[in-house]
Structure 1
Amino acid sequence: MFNYLEPPNAYYEFERIYSAEQWHKKQKWIADYLREYQPDIIGFQEVFSTESLKVLLTAQGYNYFAVVDQPEVIDDFIYRCPVVAIASRYPIVEVDAVRPNADLAQTLGLSSDFSFSRKIIRATVAVPHLGNCDCYVVHFKSKRSMIALDQQQQSSSAEKTIIDSLKAQVAGGWGSTIQRGSEATLLMIEMIERRETTGQPMVLMGDFNNNLTDGVLNHLLTNTLRFVSHIDRDAYLAKYCLNDAWDLLQRSLAKEVNEADEPNAANTKQAVSRAEKVPRTPTHYFGGTSSVLDYILLSCEFDASYHDSLYQVSGYDTYDRHLINPIFARDGESTDHGIVLVTLTLRS
């Protein structure tokens, strides 16, 4: 949402306040996206004004909305520590904040009072044909250094200041990585335990602030299990682990090729080949670089290759025109991330 805060309140610093025109433009941008794409379940990050967002969403037909935290307010009108939220066209039957296992945190070398940098929502949504589905909304710790130098108190030389900044960046960046990876690990453990208890399908969505494949968060897509038989391994990995929705779409396309009748198989294979050559659209740009930081992960109930799945991924879209071709009148108060939208189709 990129600092969704209703004026006359300020985000982070006293002068950061939207004008009435800017606020109207921001709300209109959100409403226009919702009217065009009509998502059924939405996860939000960087929400300050939760009640304002709820009103906006209700007007768009989203009668179910939940948060599990509120932002911090300092000096009466300056807000920091935004929260995540979820909205749904389908009933939200249960909502709770995910709590990390304190004993496990200590085993991992973390403090016993370890907490997520932003509280994580677990909302159980009554999805048609599927029943209760646990939807998790996250905003993992950013890559920004968690060590900040107090420039006002520094009386060192310019060289010493630069060296101190370098050390703070190296150590603080690693500290943020530890926090982010630990958040993902402790969340995954809680998701597995919840799945063990309820057997309900799982959806994990949000801003991960990290690529899934660089080693920090790749355990969210665990696909190996040591020291068990192949039969048990495959069954339990399928039941308790998550899949990237992008990968599931590729599997679904491949499955269509295998099931296609011979006259149409060639055309289908050509379509799949073209789809595989299309690179995944980044969701974030910084300077001259781009990356995928925003994901939707799904349990096996949405995997077309899983024998008991009810849904399959039939579409994957990253809305990014406000990033690559912005028009100020339309996108001036939008967001700094691309929006990931996954389409799920009931299997016949």
Structure 2
Amino acid sequence: MPDIPPNFATLFLATGNLLNLALPNRIFYENQDGYTQQEYERKIAWTGERFRALNADVLAVQEVWDEAALKDCIAASGLRYDFVAVPGAENIPPAQGAQGTPRVGIATRLHVEDVRSFTEFQPGFVVDVPGLGPHTRFERPPLLATLRMKHGQLVHVMSVHLKSKRPKFLQDANGNAVEDRDDRKVAVRASLRSLLMRGAEAAALRCIVIDLMRGSGTPLVVMGDFNDNPHSVTTQLVAATSDVAYDKAARDVALFNAYEMQGESALKKDVAYSHIHQGYPEVLDQILVSEEFMPGSHHNLGDVRRVDYFNDHLHEGRDRSRSDHGFVRALLRLRTN
């Protein structure tokens, strides 16, 4: 009797940094003006159009100051998401949105089994940062959603935003500089602070990934703004993809770049970048997947069919109504039999 070919369910996932998505007339950084009503409406309309083009089943977002603003973007898209959450950026009184730094969120059409934010680093992963002291927690806590697809398959999806490369200069309690920012050696030390903080966050995120994946069999997708490229030390701290080359057992807790896992039939165009810094294209926004999407794995449950980059707007000039990041979308398949 011939083998029955597998049936597949498709899953569209997308990630996007929304560049300070906040309600109008609300100060999110002391050195920046809030959005006027007109600016806000323009930003909501633009972001809604992007969401409609992505049409993802699961949407991971970063740089959200107000959960209410994200809901406005979704309403503008015309799409329906039964679950929308940005922990730490809620607007139901007495909450007044995120304070100090923006948050990450998830919107999805799938059934939500569980949602968790991770704030503190695990013991042993605190790092001393020169001039700042112990770095003990994520600036923007990663958000994990455990989702159930229609055929019953559970999938873990995480939205993340690691510390940027922007130099971390020391400030007083009122936000005033206490270092000479024109001193090049001071600037080096400030950049080192950012690197140490991002490295500590990457290592702490790796611990979460290991705990989720080790022997579980539940697929995991980690996506968001890593503020570094796929082969950087910090990204590989999270993914540990290279460990698989000399230790096959490492697949159980490794993550793989979805773009590099695409099926042979996928059209891999030379436009795979999500940010432009000083004229140079970079891949900062990434989708990483677990072993269950790796062809040939004993634990394979599906595959990565296609990864698309929505980045044309990066060439349209600087405008804070648009994001300064491209959006990344992956089409995954999971077997239903």
TM-score interval w.r.t. the shorter chain? 0.7 to 0.9
Corresponding residue number in structure 1 for 2:103: 83
Please provide the CA RMSD for this pair: 3.3
Q: Separation in 2 of the partners of 1:337 and 1:52?
A: 18
Q: Choose between structure 1 and 2: higher strand proportion.
A: 2
C-alpha distance 88-283 of structure 1, shift in aligned 2 (>3 A): same
CA contact (8 A) 1:283 1:339 kept: yes
Provide the rounded CA distance (Å) in 2 between the counterparts of 1:320 and 1:162.
33
Supply the distance in 1 between the matched residues of 2:322 and 2:169 (Cα, whole angstroms): 29
The structure that is helix-richer by fraction is 1
Residues 20, 99 of structure 1: alpha-carbon distance in 2 compared, 3 angstrom cutoff = closer
3-state DSSP class of the match of 1:304? coil
Q: 1:12-60: CA deviations, max 9, x gaps?
A: 1376122222211111112212222311101111101112323543662
Identity across the alignment (%): 26
Q: 1:197 to 1:301 in 2, by over 3 A?
A: closer
Map of 2:22 onto structure 1: 5
Where structure 1 has 5 or more consecutive residues not aligned to the other structure, the ranges are 155-159, 257-271
Aligned CA distance change for structure 1 residues 179 and 14 (closer, same or farther; 3 Å): closer
Alignment partner of 1:67 out of 72, 86, 94: 86
Computing the radius of gyration over CA atoms, which structure comes out larger, 1 or 2?
A: 1
SS of match in other structure, 2:167: coil
SS of aligned partner of 1:342: strand
Q: How far 1:177 sits from its partner (Å)?
A: 0.7
2:285 to 290, 294, 298: 294
Answer yes or no: is the 8 Å Cα contact 1:304–1:313 preserved in 2: no
Q: Distance in 2 between matches of 1:68 and 1:5?
A: 14
2:155 is matched by which residue type in structure 1? C
Aligned residue-pair number: 308
| Structure 1 CA distance for aligned equivalents of residues 190 and 54 of structure 2 | 39
- Aligned pairs for 1:185-200 (under 5 A) are 185-196=203-214, 198-200=216-218
User: Which residue matches 1:305?
Assistant: 296
Find the counterpart in structure 2 of residue 264 from structure 1.
Answer: none
Q: What amino acid does structure 1 have at the position aligned with 2:221? A: V
Report 1:1-348 matches (<5 A). Answer: 1-13=18-30, 16-57=33-74, 60-70=79-89, 80-106=100-126, 114-129=136-151, 131-148=153-170, 161=180, 165-196=183-214, 198-223=216-241, 225=243, 233-234=247-248, 236-249=249-262, 252-253=263-264, 275=267, 278-325=269-316, 333-346=321-334
Task: Select the structure with the greater relative contact order (CA < 8 A; seq sep ≥ 6).
Answer: 2
Distance 1:79 1:215, change over 3 A: closer
Amino acid at match of 1:126: R
Structure 2 unaligned blocks of 5 or more: 1-17
Q: What is the TM-score when the length of structure 1 is the normalising length?
A: 0.78
Distance 2:293 2:218 in 1: 12
